[in-house]
């Protein structure tokens, strides 16, 4: 897995498409903070303990378009994993732009 991801990152960096890539720490170190104006925030440790899908990390890419990003995501799904591992989706989301004033 590490070799696959390293090779992919090197290729994306060489093509100029890779802006950043990071893996997240384990869900056991996560905190979930909720609140609303006028209320004290509520802090919960390990909010993802009961979920089946956890974000493991991200790539921030600058690509020619959605087709290219989809091609990269499809390649990521072919990363070798241990036998019996669940299949997780690769989620594509654009980075939003600030509204004009």
The dihedral sign for the CA sequence 75, 77, 78, 81: positive
Global confidence as pTM: 0.77
- Only one residue has tokens 């890419």, namely 61
Residue spans per domain, the chain: 2-76
What pLDDT sits at residue 30? 82
Long-range contacts of 89-95 (CB under 8 A, 24+ apart): 89/53, 91/55, 92/66, 95/60
The domain made up of 2-76 has a fold known as: Alpha-Beta Plaits (3.30.70)
Mean pLDDT, residues 72-97 taken together: 91
pLDDT digits (tens, 9 = 90+) for 21-32: 999 988 778 888
Annotate 41-54 with b (16+ C-beta within 10 A) or e (fewer): eeeeeeeeeeeeee
pLDDT digits (tens, 9 = 90+) for 41-68: 988 876 555 666 678 899 999 999 999 9
């Amino acid at each position: 897995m590490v070799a696959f991801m390293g090779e992919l990152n090197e290729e994306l960096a060489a093509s100029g498409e890779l802006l950043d890539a990071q893996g997240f720490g384990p869900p056991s170190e996560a905190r979930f903070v909720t609140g609303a104006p006028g209320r004290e925030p509520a802090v919960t440790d390990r909010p993802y303990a009961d979920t089946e899908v956890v974000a493991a990390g991200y790539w921030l890419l600058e690509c020619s378009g959605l087709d290219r990003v989809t091609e990269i995501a499809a390649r990521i799904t072919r990363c070798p994993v241990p036998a019996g591992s669940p299949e997780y989706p690769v989620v594509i989301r654009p980075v939003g732009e600030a509204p004009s004033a």
